Structure 1
Amino acid sequence: MINYNGRTFASVQTTENGEVNSNTIFRYYQEGSVVWADYAGGGIARGHLIAAVNQQGELDMRYHHVNDKGEIMTGQCYSRPVILPSGKLQLHEEWQWTCRDFSRGHSIIEEQ
């Protein structure tokens, strides 16, 4: 199983309806099958996520953040890890807002 504890990620790709960008930094932690992260930057004042990880390292998560407009945003996300030739991780994410317009999108974040 992949251990996410202590890993740092940044966004490398997202759909237009997403709010993160390359200046958004995610700091991941893990205890057993529970993963969580803090994130901020690139239009995000402060955010958090909580996830359950399976044996393949896939994450089923829920997230919330306050954006730079002062809006509270919430969503759900399914992340699939890809191990790069360098040994670093990319997370390929399919997500949906659970607020505002309930639109869907996809993103890729990469270990720094």
Structure 2
Amino acid sequence: MAGSLDGVVLVPVADQAPGQVGTRTRFTYHERDGHIWAEYAGGDVVRGHLVGTRQGDRIDFRYVQLKTDGRTASGHCVSTVAELPDGRLRLEESWEWESQEGSGTSVVEQPLS
């Protein structure tokens, strides 16, 4: 199993569509006893929160966010935690909006120091 996400900052490796998370978004993760939560902001997202569970290297969570245009959005995501050769953590994500149309995949990882 890859290392703990507690206190880890992750960033998207690529931009998504406008109004979604992008390379300027920063996620700060917390982990305790199989529970995962995070705060995020940046780019088109004013404030976002996610909460879920971790079993091994699989994370299942729901997210909600406030966008710069004043709209809110929510969805569901399943991620796989991987450790990169240099020790940084990466999440490979499959997500789906619940409040609007759309789904996709994305990757977030610890930035280089």
Work out the percentage of aligned pairs sharing the same amino acid: 33
Partner SS state of residue 66, structure 2: strand
Deviation at 1:16, TM superposition (A): 3.4
Partner of 1:78: 78
**TM, length-normalised to structure 1:** 0.91
Q: Take 2:81 and 2:4, find their aligned partners in 1: how far apart are those partners? A: 11
Partner of 2:95: 95
Q: CA RMSD in A?
A: 1.5
Deviation at 1:83, TM superposition (A): 1.1
Q: Residues 12-55 of structure 1, C-alpha deviation per residue, up to 9 Å, x if partnerless?
A: 13553770111000000111100100000011000000010002
- Could you list the structure 1 runs, at least 4 aligned residues long, displaced by more than 4 angstroms after superposition: none
Aligned partner of 1:89: which letter? L
Q: Which runs of 5+ in 2 are unaligned?
A: none
Q: Take 2:106 and 2:7, find their aligned partners in 1: how far apart are those partners? A: 21
Aligned partner of 1:32: which letter? D
Partner of 1:107: 106
**Larger displacement relative to structure 2 (32-41 or 17-26):** 17-26
Work out the number of aligned pairs and report it: 110
Partner SS state of residue 79, structure 2: strand
Partner of 1:48: 49
1:30 and 2:15 aligned? no
Deviation at 1:4, TM superposition (A): 0.9
